[in-house]
Structure 1
Amino acid sequence: MAPYETDDSADTGERDELRAGRRRAARYIVPVTVVGVAAATIGLVPALADSGDPNLPKITAQQLIDKIAKSDVQQLSGTVKISTDLGLPNLGGLESSMLSGATKSGDGSSADPTTKLTELATGTHTLRVAADGPDKQKISLLENAAEYSLIHNGKDVWGYDSQSNEVYHGTAADSSKSDETRATPKGLTDEALKSVDATTSVTVDGTEHVAGRDAYKLLIKPKQSGTTVGTISIAVDSKTGLPLKFTLTPASGGAAVVDVGFTQLSLAKPAASTFDFKTPKGAKVTTEDSAKKAAPDHSGKPGRLGKPGKSGGDLGKGPDGLTVLGKGWNSIATFDTGGQGVPSGSASGGGDLGGVISSLGDKVKGTFGSGTVFSTRLINALVTDDGKVYVGAVTKSALVKAADAAK
């Protein structure tokens, strides 16, 4: 996520201390307090708040970041509300049908966290969370007449989907699963506090009650124009320094894009049985190894991207050197797919899929040529007709300018 700095009134010494506090915060962020989904593109409904703001001692942004750095909450249980409003188009059930078809064809398990937790990327959801140190965490996604649970206990990671009665068994060393423990206020705060520079203002914006606890509000604002990010507000527990709520509001205004918050929270040690798992009778079990063997060949299909400036995984013919343009909140990731741009209905053999994909974007032209911009309320992407991609939390015009400058 984009870097930040303290408010303009802070002198050089204060900024240095703030940077040191930020580094300590990132270093000591307690992974057991985070529940994960991809991307930092998750929205959440505001946590239930008591009426009236608490009267707390005044604190500076630097001191509040230091409080987060010193936070050492290892044990907790509670309920987290998640609601996403990215402004994505309605695909009429197309996505769920494709996922269902992949599962039925043996390409995956409905209990695999990488599949199941993508549901958090849209709509409103309720999670029950529990943690007891770095080796024991549990997340339960509550659904209509069903429940999905993800349990980490020692070296084992279990996923269970009660609706399909399917089980997924992996190991804690599987990084693709650990990346998914990043969606509570603590995890998102960690991302927001990764670096410091002059592109952001950080201030304390009053106090509030969250899940029955008194909290300070840390406010992060980009100083740059052209970004789709408006503000990030983080409620920090006044006693423990634990982030209780994380809200990202877009520059365009309206409802929050991301708003993660505890509605209930206990810092007592959860019962040991909370993290036990026994395979239900008749359940279909998929192991991490068997899932990898059953996975289809992804040649020519989207894959994981490499680090900036290095060649990544397959995407079309493979991205050609993912790089980052610009700084701070105006950063734009760009790479070359090695192929063509967005297919039209005729270009995709007359099928409907190419036409549907093309219709979801806006056609644009510039010095770079022509292409299609796919927009959400936070992340926008330009795919040029010759296969180059520009992605960032920036406006459509910023993407076109970046493509023109790179021509």
Structure 2
Amino acid sequence: MIGIIGTSYKSASIDIREKFTFLKEDIQEFSEYLKKEEDFKSLIILSTCNRTEIYFYCQKTNNQEGFDLILRALSKYKGYTETMKPYFYFKSGREAVEHLFKVSSGIDSLIIGEDQIIGQVKNAFTIAQEIKSTDSILTRLFTKAFEAGKRVRSETKINQGSGSVSSAAVDLCHKYYPDLSKHSILIIGAGQTGQLVLTGLSKHNIKSLYIANRTVSKAEELAIRYNGKAIELESIEQYLAKSDIIIVATDSKNHLITKEMVLKTCQENNSIQKQLYIDLSVPRNIEKFVNELSNKQLYAVDDLTEIVNSTTLKRQNAVSEAIKIINEVSTDYMEWLVVRGLSPIFSKIKKNFQQVHEKELQGFKKVNILGDHKVLEDYGKHISEKYSRLFIKNLREIVKDGEKKEYIEAINELFEM
């Protein structure tokens, strides 16, 4: 079965989602554990600020057994319990395939049509390739997901307007401080999200821009590109008082900015300046209690919903067109999956019809004397091939995307294969 177990901004708050984030090393360890299971074949984990989704393929014919396989691993590595089940969704077969295609197309995103998700899906696939946790089934699935995402963006108007969490953050900065040329900004994190924020901010003439990152050379590279100043991660506290806007987007599992840190900075500088804090990280990197301080406004990922509503409404009209494309690509993938899974059966059916033809022809030759059996042989071959093709065509239709295994078993017994 192809399955997915996931949690997202639609099903769970950030308090729940941050418990199930995966770094590359987490994915590798998780995968190695599952590989010990005989029926487990492959997995790809998509982990972003808005969702964690585990795509997997296993040879369980019962969907629940397949889901239980993954849930046991989640219990061991992420502390999953049955009480958390309402925060998760479980999909299999075509439903799982269509869900991935919707995700890669941006339809399932907080901001409909956002572009950042396609890069995140590609990154998840790349990690799976690097740690060798994928196979031909999921490789083909994700390749088709990239195709669906590309077609939806090029053939519809799904990505018009502000289209990502990072661009929403930039819009929030401009809303909070209409004239950014009078204000200083501290960006913590030089990953994909941080770079997208920088790209959006580069359109504005910012007074001062500070870029902090664990790897200083990366911060220096971006500082040159965006006319800013690179600083070490350990130095961010001294730059808080110099900044009006602080944006954090890292994969750190700990708080990089705490209420105590902000309060200390204000006291040392005798300042009660108005500041905007935006935390684009999951788990959160800014302690939520910062919001309790005077003149400090904190926005986390989930708080961006209101800002993106206008964009969502504009893009909603393109969703129906996108769904048609997704259905088309999904059908293409499911047909490939059926043919791949049933190829051995198809070969046996053809072989069986051929054997019947040859056996009956030999018997006919023994009791009937004809000058030329060539016409009879050709006609017999034509009939056997015609009925084997018809049989295979009907079999593909009744097995329903390869999910109704009982039909295949019945065919095996019927033809004594």
Whether TM-score is above 0.5 comes out as no
Greater relative contact order (CA < 8 Å, ≥ 6 in sequence): 1
TM-score by length of 2: 0.23
* Higher strand residue share: 1
* Higher helix residue share: 2
TM-score by length of 1: 0.23
Whose Rg is larger?
Answer: 2
